[in-house]
Amino acid sequence: MWDNALPSFLIGLREGLEAGLIVSVLVATLVRSGHRSRLPHVWTGVLAAIGVSMGFGAVLTFTSAGLSGQAQEAFGGTLSVVAVAFVTAMVFWMRRSARSLSGEIREKVTAALGTGAGVLIITSFLAVGREGLETALFLWTTGQTAGDSAGPLVGAGAGLVLAIVVCWGLYRRVLHLNLTRFFTLTGAGLIVIAAGVLGYGLRDLQEGGVLPGATAYAVDLSASIDSGSWYATLLGGTLNLTPLMTWLQVGAYGAYLVVVMTLFVRGVRGAAESPPTAPGKTAPAPGRTARRSLPAWVVPVAALAVPSLLAGALVSVGDTKPASAATVGVSTADCGKGFGTPKPGEHTFQVRNGGDSTVEAYLINPATAAVYGEVEGIAPGTTRALIATIGGGSYAWRCVPSSGKAVTSAAVRVSGGGAQRAVLPVTDKDLAEPLASYRAYVHQGLTVLGTRTLTLQHDIEDDRLARARSDWLPAHVEYASLGAAYGTFGDFDAKINGRTAGLPLGVKDPGFTGFHRIEYGLWHGESAASLTPVARRLTSDVAALRKDFPHQDFDPGDLPLRTHEILEATLQQELTGATDYGSGSNLATAEANIKGTQELLGLLRPLISARDPEVLTDVGGWMRRTERIVLSARSADGRWTPVEQLPAATRQRLNGAMSQLLEELAPIPDLLEIRKAA
């Protein structure tokens, strides 16, 4: 949050100080001239200005929320550019006017005292309103940039509070501040921030289809820089520098920064070299004549009217968007209606279900049924966005209702643009054979498990606890290699391999049973008599699971999920030592989990290879690397080093390798997601 708070803090401090200084001068002039009774008029104007500013922010927020996705991008981008213009003008105005500000305000107050209360109210309203409108616009823009309003609001609030404290100190003459230097330094900082806002706004306009070059990237460091890292987040939140930037963004950022900063610095030097003016007088700008003031009603009316008119214009533009961005019907009655021939590039399609049942919509290659983009669960009468990159080839829409037959639209042919990868759909039938093979693998494993748990039971019953400690691990790793335990075994998993987490009495809780309960007893000196009932119950639970497993439901769609879930649990539990109850065998369990994942990947290999063969290459490399590190912790006599006793460097390498392996496995559930065909 704090990276997004800094720009808003600066604008809140600077604008708050500007408005605060104006109010301070207004109040001081009235007090020293003996007109305290006119102070309520000042506060009336100030409160009116605050109200209009808040109304301006509300208009921006609600107007944006009512636009389509593409129109929102255009709306936000336009207002970002407007915000940059306002901030730039404000920076130069304050640099030029800081020295003479007090004198100008005193003159206006003196003139207002000879008239009615309305003139004084309007004077304070106009003096404060401009800062309020600029602040509201900039805050809304930075909130859009950050994607979250919390950071900008906290930053602006802190800046405004500090500005109030500083103004109070200046008014009470307990604080001295070189305002010229302050506004110079903050002005330079705002110019840098405004350059980033300008680049972000132009990017929004590109994504909204207003400006070209949305895919012409000048900088693409997304492969080497983690966008979620602290340094990338900091640069993105404060300066709007991102790993992926278009030529237009980079060019506008650099040009604005060079030109505006040069003019600003020259102006600062010129002001420093110019002779001071006589007290009470303001030096006229060379070659300029006094400008006529605008009518008092112009600013408040424009503040509320401009964003509304701008929103209306953008909505009108959105209604006349090209065919590729038009609303596409996805009900069975009008599947693909409104879909023209799109141009190559990224598109955001607004898909609308005009039917009476929920629909899943797919943008497909009609020849292969490969999917370029999809939206699931579109309720009747609702519109959802589907983002897809269009290249050369054939495209059609496939609309699959919650009940009834699927419908495919007429195909269109797109010329030009590079080939785009599409995902071949997977059906229940495709996963039927791997599922049958996996069920056979698990059933065979349960048979072996039953034999080994019975051996463990006999060891304990015969008071051969040293032998039981040797036989415990083969039985436990056999169970660990059966990845079906994750969600398929149901209550049996808690009975056979449960932990103390959530049990009120911990290791003494009656609900603590199975392998880990025996592990705790064997390695903490419990007697054979106390462990015999636990061992018999374990054998009984394994036998019950083996009998029940053929009748258990196993969703085919769970198979691809298991490729990631098994090792994700390994990283969270085994590699942290959280499941060690005395044997120090977490790494043996981790190796069994790796074997179980390899078995599952072998069954799914043909389906994965047909969709993305590179995934298996990357997974295989990191799987071997991770397994080598795990096996390095096993001695020649078969003993395993406990996780907590691994050298720090080895443990870091192991955690890093497992984390990267999980990253490589992550695409598989999406590649093999079951998509409805009818």
pTM, to two decimals? 0.50
3-state secondary structure of 505: coil
Alpha carbons 545 and 269: distance in angstroms, whole number:
84
Cβ contacts of 563 within 8 Å, gap of 6 or more: 597, 600, 601, 604, 665, 668, 669
**How many CB atoms neighbour CB 400 within 10 A?**
23
| DSSP three-state, residue 364 | strand
What pLDDT, in 10s, does the model give residues 365-409? 888 888 898 888 898 888 888 988 888 888 999 999 988 888 999
| Residues 245, 242: Cα–Cα separation, whole Å | 6
- Pairing state of beta strands 327-329 and 345-352? parallel
**Cα–Cα dist 42/48, whole Å:** 10
Record the tokens describing residue 377, joined without a space.
Answer: 């669960």
Give the helix/strand (H/E) hosting 307.
helix 298-319
CA distance 298 to 292: 13
pLDDT in tens, 427-477: 888 999 999 999 999 999 999 999 999 999 999 999 999 999 999 999 999
Please state, in angstroms and rounded to a whole number, the distance separating the CA atoms of residues 515 and 500.
Answer: 12
**Helix, strand, coil percent content, the chain, rounded in steps of 5:** 65, 10, 30
Q: b/e per residue, 264-279, with b = 16+ CB within 10 A?
A: beebbeeeeeeeeeee
Shortest CA distance to 191 belongs to which of 422, 5, 7, 2? 7
Q: Which residues of the chain have pLDDT under 50?
A: 1-3, 68-69, 147, 227-228, 275-324, 678
The 3-state secondary structure of 643-654, one letter per residue: HHHCCHHHHHHH
Contact present, 609 and 495 (Cβ < 8 Å): no
Q: Which residues pair with 387 in a beta bridge?
A: 348
d(CA 177, CA 493): 69
- Amino acid (1-letter code) at residue 263: L
CB within 8 Å of 489: residues ≥ 6 apart: 496, 545, 549, 552
Which residues make Cβ contacts (< 8 Å) with residue 243, sequence separation at least 6?
A: 219, 220, 221, 222, 224, 225, 227, 232
CA 240, 241, 247 angle in degrees (round to 5)?
110
Q: Say what the pLDDT of residue 307 is.
A: 42
Helix axes 298-319, 39-65, angle to 10 degrees: 0
Query: Can you tell me the distance from the alpha carbon of 45 to that of 363, in angstroms, rounded to the nearest whole number?
Result: 56
Strand order in the sheet with 327-329: 327-329, 345-352, 383-390
CA distance 387 to 382: 17
Query: What is d(CA 350, CA 378) in angstroms, rounded to the nearest whole number?
Result: 11
| Residue owning tokens 């895919």 | 215
**DSSP characters for 595-651?**
HHHHHHHHHHHHHHHTT-HHHHHHHHHHHHHHHHHHHTTB-TTS-B--GGGS-HHHH
Phi-psi region of 463 (alpha: psi -120 to 50; beta: other; left: phi over 0): left
Judge contact between 516 and 498, C-beta under 8 A. Answer: yes
Distance of CA 47 to the CA centre of its chain: 37
Tokens of 583: 């044997």
- What backbone phi and psi angles, to 5 degrees, belong to 407? -125, 140
CA distance linking residue 603 with residue 609, whole number of Å: 11
Q: Which two tokens stand for residue 328?
A: 């596409």
| The token pair that represents 493 in the structure block | 């998993």
